[in-house]
Amino acid sequence: MKQNVKDITVVIGHKNPDTDSICSAICYAELKHRIDGREYIPARAGEVNNETAFVLDYFDVKAPRIITNITTQVRDIEIRDTPGVNRTLSIKRAWQMMQERDVVTLPIVDGEGEMEGLITVSDIAHNIMDVYDNRILSRAHTLYSNILDTIDGEMILGDPSVVLDEGKVLIAAANPDLMENYIEKNDIVIVGNRYESQLCAIEMEARCIIVCEGSPVSKTIRKMAQARECYIISTPYDAFTVSSLINQSISIGYFMKDAKKLTMFDDTDYIDEVSDVMKNKRYRDFPIIGGDGKYIGMISRRNLLGAQGKKVILVDHNERNQCVSGIEYADIQEIIDHHRIGALETISPVFFLNRPVGCTATIIYQQYKQYGFDFDRKTAGLLCSAILSDTLMFRSPTCTEIDEAAVRELAPIAGINVEEYADQMFSAAGDLEGKSIDEIFYQDFKRFNAGNVNFGVGQVVSMNRNELLGLKERLLPFMEQAREDLKLDIIYFMLTNVLSEASSIISAGEGASELIYDAFRGSAVSAVPHPEDPELIHLIGVMSRKKQLVPRIITALQDRKS
């Protein structure tokens, strides 16, 4: 049986993840496991950017699995472990297995575990009731071993592994003179203890004689049968019983529903979609296929009843539009964040830890300290990297003394020189060579809402002034299209220079530039046209999207509304 969704909790950050989002997910999943011993899986909701890739590589940490949709999947619910059977299995044996397992469906798989078909109780009942043809065994290519099993027979002469592919089945009820008129070559003849009937069947080149009621078979009959290559089977049943049972030796492969015509689901399919398909099907059970194309198990409508959402812990965000897709179906357990509190509804009360520090990793650092856990090099390195990234090595106004104190403790454990390491990390982040404009735009992009205005803000941080300014001509037309595609009213993109501690703003959307000028009018930070490119808005001292740009935009929008 597959592990149930309730046994696993996914720890995941926001879409377009940054270093804090991914490092916090990894470290918090480890912390939670150390606290209660349960399974916590770190995950990411998007691709790893250059900076984060550098960090993970530096500390030899594998990137978390990518999850772009958190909706409950088939693999998360209880999948019934119904073992597959071979298509050569007899109907009798299949029926017995169904009774023993208390199931109405048997999956049929090949030697590699791939689905070939399935058979149901209904299939067996309908086909057995409809079989009146005495050549059905040969048409179904029935194994002699199945015949033996079905009638509790013993192979006196012959090979049980041979397949019956010619002839009909008949009962030798008449005298030998009449028998000669209807016994044909390769027939199976059900006989009693009469020597003459046995001899006649052999002389008429029957393929097999079934001797009923355990009657002895003489040496003469055996010798003649061997000479004519005629099989002999002995059974304890009488002729009537044998004739009633023998059709149950047909292989289920003859009656099965072929896999090509079945409705099957992958274990990665989402249960809401699966449920919609099931509603339009009359079948009771549905096979599940794994990523390798092999059969896993069966589910029915009953398995979907009461299916719970995946357990999720959100880190570094708490707004619905920044969450991984399908969050509305998830069972949110905790939220660990350092941003403003946005609109995100939960099914039940959750543990919500939100602190005004420069980085989510700082909060997680405090949690490690609270529980008395030591930091290994990997954890210290990831947490330290996230703090340096989010605070722009303490240059961001979001940075607090707590963030700096955390780095002072973690850096020696991680074995890094803060200035040298941060320089390498930011250089990796600012390396935009070979990146498409799509990758640059979405590597750190977030959506926001203020009243009836939806806007988005992207950001790229670099130490290369010329590289930043050169992005405008590529970004501006892309932003116009992205605004339409994302159904946003306004889009801004921050070109943040770590060395000069300033950002240049590219804007798209009606009134976007005017809004920025309004937002910073009268503040300590002036919004002015960039001295080298008047289309850019230059904000000296502005480096934080979270603390310096977005709050002013939201306030300006609210002032306009009032």
What's the pLDDT band for 172 if we cut at 50, 70, 90? Answer: confident
- Between strands 490-497 and 453-462, the pairing is parallel
Structural domains present in the chain:
5-72+309-429 (3.90.1640.10), 76-128+254-304 (3.10.580.10), 132-249 (3.40.1390.20), 437-561 (3.10.310.20)
How many angstroms separate the Cα of 156 from the Cα of each of 211, 218, 402? Answer: 10, 11, 88
Mean pLDDT of 268-281: 89
Q: Transcribe 27-58 into DSSP letters.
A: HHHHHHHHHH--EEEEEESS---HHHHHHHHH
Query: What number is the average pLDDT over the span 343-365?
Result: 91
Query: pLDDT over 90 for what percent of the chain?
Result: 63
Task: Give dist(CA 562, CA 558) in Å, integer.
Answer: 6
Across the chain, how many H-helices and E-strands are there?
Answer: 21, 25
- Residue 2: its pLDDT value, please? 45
Region 63-87 average pLDDT? 91
Closest to 188 (Cα-Cα) out of 125, 247, 129: 247
Q: CA-CA distance, 237 to 148, in Å (whole number)?
A: 12
What is the 8-class DSSP label of residue 254? G
**Residue 108 confidence class, pLDDT cut points 50, 70, 90:** very high
Residue 30 and residue 59 in contact, taking contact as beta carbons nearer than 8 Å: no
- Packing angle of the helix pair 91-101, 121-130 (nearest 10 deg): 150
Predicted confidence band of residue 218 (pLDDT cuts 50, 70, 90):
very high
Q: What is the pLDDT of residues 1-50, one digit of tens each?
A: 444 555 889 999 999 899 999 999 999 999 999 999 999 999 999 999 88
pLDDT of residue 411: 97
Among 94, 176, 165, CA closest to 127: 94
500 pLDDT exceeds 90? no
Residue 54 has pLDDT above 60, yes or no: yes
What pLDDT is recorded for position 3? Answer: 45
458, β-bridge pairs: 445, 493
pLDDT at 370 over 90: yes
**CB–CB of 492/549 below 8 Å?**
yes
pLDDT at 431: 67
Note the pTM of the prediction, 2 decimals: 0.66
Q: Where are the beta strands (DSSP E) in 301-382?
A: 311-315, 331-337, 351-354
Q: Model confidence over 275-322: pLDDT tens digits?
A: 889 988 878 889 999 989 999 999 988 888 877 889 999 999 998 888
CA neighbor of 359 nearest in space, from 13, 69, 3, 88: 13
Least confident of 100-114, 117-131, 221-235, 378-392: 117-131
Nearest to 336 by CA among 9, 67, 63: 9
Question: How confident is the model at residue 562, as a pLDDT?
Answer: 63
| C-alpha distance across the termini of the chain, in Å | 59
The Cα 403–Cα 411 span in angstroms is 12
> Beta partners for 191?
211
Average pLDDT over residues 399-407: 96
DSSP H or E stretch at residue 427 = helix 418-429
Q: What pLDDT, on the 0 to 100 scale, is given for residue 295?
A: 95
Question: pLDDT at residue 427 above 90?
Answer: no
Label residue 131 by pLDDT band (50, 70, 90).
low
Instruction: Label residue 345 by pLDDT band (50, 70, 90).
Output: confident
Average pLDDT for residues 373-393, to the nearest whole number?
A: 96
- Most trustworthy range by pLDDT among 111-115, 363-367, 496-500: 363-367
How open is the CA angle 408-411-417, to the nearest 5 degrees? Answer: 105
